[in-house]
C-alpha cells in the first residue's frame, strides 16, 4: 500500500461514520418548520398555477358567451325594428314575440331592459309611469316571468281579452295599482345603467327628447365607442421578457478589462412582471406602478494567472538525524530539534474559472406619459418616461480591475453597487379592446439605464444596460 | 429502539413522530457529512436542514435498493455539493505547484490522531480539494464519477486530490510535531 492510500484509509476509517454534534439546539425545529414551509409553498404554487390558468380560461369563456348573446340580442333588435311601425305606441314596445323571448336568457335581462328603455324614449312614452315600464320590461326580459305576468294581468282585466298588447296598454292607463302588484322590483331602468350595459350608448341629453321613432332618431343611437373612456383609471397586469444588452465604458487605463469582459460575458433573457395604474384623460394618459426587473449577464471567465505566492505559514522541521549517544552506542537517532520556517516563494500558475449568471434585481417605479390612437377596437398606446429602480438583490461575480481576481457580489450591500437606478423607458403597445372594461395588449418596449449600475468610486468602469423586450398583459378600466 | 423499517413506514405516511425519530437517529452522522463537505458549521447546518427536508419530501422514492442510510447519505452529499456549487462558484485550480513532495514520513499508519483532529484537517482544505478528497478518499467515488458530479475533467479531479493530500500531509506533520513537543 503506498503512502497516498494510507492517507485515504486513515481518513476513511476515521470519518466515514463520524458523528458531529450540531452546535445549535433548534436544528430539529428548523427542519420541521422548513418542511411545513415547503409543503405550504408547494400547495401555494399549485393553487397559483390553477388560478393563472383558470382566470384567462374563464375570461375567454365569458367573452365568448357574451359575444354570442350580443349577437342574439342584435338579431332580436333588428327583427323588432323591422316589425315596428312608425309612430308606434307603448304597445309595440311590449309586443310579445314568443320566438324572440324564448331566445332571451335570464342573464340578458339588463341588456334587454336598456334597449327597451331607449325604444320607449324614441316612442315618446314619457307619460307612462315607471310601474308600467317595469311591467313591459318584465314581460320581455324573462320568458317564464312573462307568461305568469300575462296570466295575472289577464285575470284582473276583463277588457284585455283582445290581445296581450292591448292588455298592457289598458293597464297602463286605468289599472296602474293592480299592475304594480306584479312587483318587477329587480328591474330598474336608468340612464346610467343603459350607459353601463356595454351594448348601446345614448347620445347626450337632447336625445332623450326624441319624440318620434324615426329612422333619424334611431340612427343617433350609436354603438359605444370603446376608445373614448375619458378621465378613467385603468389597471394593467403585464409580463415582459427582456434581452439584456450591456455597454461597458472606461478610461484607457481599464480598456483591457472592458475588452476581456465584453468577450467573456454574454446577454441573457430576463423577465419582468409588473402592475401599473393608468390615468386616462381626453388626450393623454399617465402611468405608474411597480415593476420587478432583473438585469444581468452570463459570465464565463476562464483564465490562467501566474502569481508569486509566498506561503509563510508553513513550518517544517529539518530531517537531519543525529546520533544521540556520543559514546558510540548505536541505535539512537532522533530528529533534531532545530526548527525553521520555510517560505515558499514558488510561482504558481492558477486557473480561475467563473461560470455564472449574474443577476441584479430591482423594484422599479415607472412614471410615464403617453397618447392613444384608436382604430375601431385596436388602440395603439405610445408612452415614454422614466423609472426609478431600487436594488433589492444582487448575485454576481465581477472581474476586478487588476484583471486577475474575481470578486464576489453576494448581496445588495456590496460596495460595488449603486442602490438607486434611473432608467429611460419607451413603450409602444398594441391593445385590443375585448369589451368596455377589458383589453389585451402586446407591448414592445425599450429600457435604458441612465447611470452606471456599479459604483464608480469602487469600480471605475461604467456598466449600463439597455433592455429590449416584449410584454403582454391585460388591462381593466374602471 | 424503533426498527428502521418501522420508522421509514411512518415517514412514508407523513407521521411527524416517525420523522422526528429518523432525524434524531441520523442527525449526528448527517451533520458530520455536511461539515466534512462544507467546512463551517453554520452553513453545514443549513445544508443539514435542506437535506432532511429533501429526505422527508422524497422518501417515497427510496426503493429498498441498498441501505437506507446510504440513500440518505447520497442525498446529503448532493445537497452539500449543490450548496457549494451555488454559493461558492469560483474554483481555483492549481495546475502546478512547487510544494516539495518529499516531506511525508512514515507517519500515517503509526500516529494516533483523533477523528475530530482529522475532521479539522479536512475542513481546512480549500473547497475544490475538499470536495474531491471527500468524494474520492472517503466516499470512494472514482475520478470519472467525480468529474461528472462536479462538472470538471478527470485530470482536474486528480490534481485536486493530489493537492488535498499534500496539504493533509503538511497538516499531519504539524500535528505530529505538536504532539512530539507536547511529549
Beta bridge partners of A265: A299
B2 Rama sector, left if φ>0, alpha if ψ -120 to 50, beta otherwise? beta
As a whole number of angstroms, the distance between CA A105 and CA A476 comes to: 26
The complex scores an ipTM of: 0.82
Contact A20 B90 (CB under 8 A): no
Residue A25: the pLDDT is 75
**Other beta carbons less than 10 A from residue B19's beta carbon:** 21
Domain B89-183 is found in CATH 3.40.50.300: no
Residues 6 or more apart in contact with residue A421 via CB below 8 angstroms = A362, A364, A388, A389, A390, A391, A449, A450, A451, A453
Residue that the C-alpha cell 461539515 belongs to: B35
Return the SS3 of A120: helix
Residues 6 or more apart in contact with residue B47 via CB below 8 angstroms = B34, B37, B38, B76, B79, B80, B83
Q: CA nearest A399: which of A389, A409, A391, A390?
A: A409
Contact A10 B108 (CB under 8 A): yes
Residues 6 or more apart in contact with residue A216 via CB below 8 angstroms = none
Residue B104: the pLDDT is 47
Return the SS3 of B124: coil
Contact call for residues A470 and A445 (beta carbons, < 8 A): yes
As a whole number of angstroms, the distance between CA B134 and CA B119 comes to: 11
Top residue of B76, B85, B90, B157 to mutate, by most chain A CBs within 10 Å, is B90
**pLDDT band of B128, cuts 50, 70, 90:** confident
Question: Percent of chain B, pLDDT > 90?
Answer: 20
- Is A320 at the interface with chain B, CB within 8 A? no
Q: What is the pLDDT of residues A332-384, one digit of tens each?
A: 445 455 554 444 555 556 667 777 888 999 999 999 999 888 887 888 999 99
- Is B98 at the interface with chain A, CB within 8 A? yes
Residue A218: the pLDDT is 55
Please tell me the total number of residues recorded for chain A in this structure.
478
Q: What's the CATH code, domain B4-87?
A: 1.10.1740.10
Q: Model-level pTM? A: 0.42
**Other beta carbons less than 10 A from residue B94's beta carbon:** 19
Return the residue of A nearest to B173 by Cα. A316
Hey, which residues 100-139 in chain B have their CB within 8 Å of chain A?
A: 103-106, 108-109, 113, 115, 118-119, 122, 133, 136-138
Cα distance from B90 to chain A (closest Cα, Å)? 5
Beta bridge partners of B24: none
Return the SS3 of B181: helix
**Which chain A positions have a beta carbon within 8 Å of B20's beta carbon?**
28, 32
Handedness of CA B84, B85, B86, B90 (dihedral sign): positive
Residue A187 to residues A55, A192, A208, Cα–Cα distance (Å):
30, 13, 20
Residues 6 or more apart in contact with residue A382 via CB below 8 angstroms = A370, A371, A372, A373, A427, A428, A429
- Is B16 at the interface with chain A, CB within 8 A? yes
Return the residue of B nearest to A301 by Cα. B90
Contact A27 B48 (CB under 8 A): yes
- Is A406 at the interface with chain B, CB within 8 A? yes
Contact call for residues A108 and A100 (beta carbons, < 8 A): no
Q: What is the pLDDT of residues B69-116, one digit of tens each?
A: 999 999 999 999 888 877 665 454 545 444 444 444 444 545 577 888
Shortest CB distance from B32 goes to which of A19, A35, A38? A19
- Is A45 at the interface with chain B, CB within 8 A? no
Extents of the domains making up chain B: 4-87, 89-183
Contact A7 B98 (CB under 8 A): no
Q: What is the pLDDT of residues A221-251, one digit of tens each?
A: 544 444 444 578 889 999 999 988 888 888 8
- Report DSSP letters for B47-116, one per residue: HHHHHHHHHHHTGGG--SSS-HHHHHHHHHHHHHHHHHHHH---EEEEEE----S----TTTTT----HH
Cα distance from B48 to chain A (closest Cα, Å)? 8
Contact A27 B170 (CB under 8 A): no
Grid coordinates of A45: 404554487
Cα distance from A15 to chain B (closest Cα, Å)? 6
* Ordered per-residue pLDDT tens for chain A, 478 residues: 454 567 788 888 888 888 887 777 788 888 888 888 888 888 888 888 887 777 777 777 777 776 666 666 666 666 655 555 444 443 333 344 444 444 444 445 555 556 655 665 555 544 444 444 444 443 333 434 334 434 344 343 444 334 444 334 444 444 454 444 444 444 444 455 555 555 444 444 444 444 455 566 555 554 444 444 457 888 999 999 998 888 888 888 788 888 888 888 888 888 889 999 988 887 788 999 999 999 999 888 877 776 555 544 444 444 555 455 555 554 544 545 555 444 455 555 666 777 788 899 999 999 999 988 888 788 899 999 999 999 999 988 888 887 777 888 888 888 888 888 899 999 999 998 888 888 999 999 999 999 899 888 888 888 999 999 999 999 998 8
**Which chain A positions have a beta carbon within 8 Å of B152's beta carbon?**
none
As a whole number of angstroms, the distance between CA A359 and CA A417 comes to: 12
Residues 6 or more apart in contact with residue A275 via CB below 8 angstroms = A235, A236, A237, A238, A289, A290
Amino acid at each position: 500500500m503506498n503512502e497516498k492510500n494510507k492517507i485515504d484509509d486513515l481518513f476513511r476509517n476515521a470519518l466515514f461514520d463520524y458523528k458531529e454534534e450540531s452546535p445549535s439546539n433548534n436544528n430539529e425545529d428548523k427542519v420541521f418548520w422548513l418542511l411545513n414551509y415547503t409543503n405550504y409553498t408547494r400547495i401555494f404554487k399549485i393553487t397559483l398555477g390553477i388560478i393563472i390558468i383558470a382566470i384567462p380560461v374563464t375570461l375567454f369563456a365569458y367573452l365568448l358567451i357574451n359575444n354570442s348573446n350580443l349577437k342574439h340580442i342584435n338579431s332580436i333588435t333588428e327583427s323588432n325594428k323591422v316589425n315596428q311601425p312608425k309612430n308606434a305606441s307603448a304597445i309595440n314596445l311590449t309586443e310579445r314575440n314568443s320566438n324572440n323571448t324564448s331566445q332571451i336568457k335570464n342573464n340578458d335581462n339588463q341588456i334587454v331592459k336598456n334597449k327597451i328603455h331607449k325604444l320607449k324614449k324614441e316612442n315618446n312614452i314619457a307619460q307612462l309611469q315607471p310601474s308600467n315600464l317595469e311591467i313591459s320590461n318584465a314581460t320581455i326580459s324573462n320568458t317564464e316571468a312573462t307568461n305568469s305576468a300575462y296570466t295575472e294581468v289577464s285575470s284582473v282585466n276583463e277588457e284585455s281579452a283582445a290581445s296581450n298588447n292591448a292588455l298592457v296598454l289598458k293597464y297602463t292607463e286605468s289599472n296602474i295599482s293592480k299592475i304594480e302588484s306584479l312587483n318587477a322590483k329587480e328591474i330598474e331602468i336608468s340612464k346610467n345603467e343603459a350607459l353601463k350595459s356595454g351594448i348601446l350608448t345614448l347620445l347626450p341629453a337632447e336625445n332623450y327628447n326624441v319624440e318620434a321613432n324615426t329612422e333619424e332618431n334611431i340612427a343617433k343611437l350609436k354603438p359605444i365607442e370603446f376608445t373614448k373612456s375619458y378621465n378613467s383609471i385603468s389597471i394593467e397586469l403585464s409580463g415582459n421578457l427582456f434581452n439584456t444588452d450591456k455597454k461597458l465604458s472606461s478610461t484607457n487605463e481599464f480598456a483591457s478589462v472592458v475588452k476581456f469582459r465584453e468577450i467573456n460575458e454574454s446577454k441573457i433573457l430576463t423577465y419582468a412582471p409588473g402592475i401599473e395604474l393608468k390615468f386616462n384623460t381626453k388626450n393623454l394618459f399617465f402611468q405608474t406602478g411597480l415593476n420587478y426587473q432583473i438585469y444581468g449577464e452570463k459570465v464565463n471567465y476562464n483564465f490562467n494567472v501566474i502569481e508569486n505566492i509566498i506561503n509563510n505559514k508553513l513550518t517544517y522541521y529539518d530531517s537531519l538525524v543525529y546520533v544521540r549517544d556520543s559514546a558510540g552506542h548505536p541505535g539512537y537517532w532522533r530528529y533534531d530539534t532545530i526548527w525553521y520556517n520555510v517560505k515558499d516563494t514558488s510561482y504558481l500558475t492558477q486557473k480561475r474559472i467563473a461560470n455564472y449568471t449574474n443577476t441584479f434585481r430591482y423594484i422599479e417605479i415607472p412614471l410615464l406619459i403617453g397618447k392613444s390612437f384608436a382604430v375601431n377596437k385596436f388602440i395603439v398606446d405610445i408612452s415614454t418616461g422614466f423609472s426609478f429602480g431600487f436594488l433589492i438583490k444582487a448575485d454576481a461575480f465581477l472581474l476586478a480591475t487588476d484583471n486577475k481576481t474575481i470578486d464576489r457580489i453576494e448581496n445588495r450591500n456590496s460596495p460595488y453597487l449603486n442602490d438607486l437606478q434611473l432608467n429611460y423607458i419607451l413603450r409602444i403597445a398594441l391593445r385590443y379592446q375585448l369589451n368596455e372594461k377589458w383589453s389585451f395588449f402586446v407591448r414592445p418596449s425599450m429600457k435604458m439605464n441612465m447611470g452606471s449600475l456599479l459604483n464608480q468610486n469602487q469600480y471605475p468602469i461604467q456598466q449600463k444596460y439597455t433592455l429590449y423586450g416584449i410584454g403582454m398583459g391585460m388591462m381593466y378600466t374602471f | 429502539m424503533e426498527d428502521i423499517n418501522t420508522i421509514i413506514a411512518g415517514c412514508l405516511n407523513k407521521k411527524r413522530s416517525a420523522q422526528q425519530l429518523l432525524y434524531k437517529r441520523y442527525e449526528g452522522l448527517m451533520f458530520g457529512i455536511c461539515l466534512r463537505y462544507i467546512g463551517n458549521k453554520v452553513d453545514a447546518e443549513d445544508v443539514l436542514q435542506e437535506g432532511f427536508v429533501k429526505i422527508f419530501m422524497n422518501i417515497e422514492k427510496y426503493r429498498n435498493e441498498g441501505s437506507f442510510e446510504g440513500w440518505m447519505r447520497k442525498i446529503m452529499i448532493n445537497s452539500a455539493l449543490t450548496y457549494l456549487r451555488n454559493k461558492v462558484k469560483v474554483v481555483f485550480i492549481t495546475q502546478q505547484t512547487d510544494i516539495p513532495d518529499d516531506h511525508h514520513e512514515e507517519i500515517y499508519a503509526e500516529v494516533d490522531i483523533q477523528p475530530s483532529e482529522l475532521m479539522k484537517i479536512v475542513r481546512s482544505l480549500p473547497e475544490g480539494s475538499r470536495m474531491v478528497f471527500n468524494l474520492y478518499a472517503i466516499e470512494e467515488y472514482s475520478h470519472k464519477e467525480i468529474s461528472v458530479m462536479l462538472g470538471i475533467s478527470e485530470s482536474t479531479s486528480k490534481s485536486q486530490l493530489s493537492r488535498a493530500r499534500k496539504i493533509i500531509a503538511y497538516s499531519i506533520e504539524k500535528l505530529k510535531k505538536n504532539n512530539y513537543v507536547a511529549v
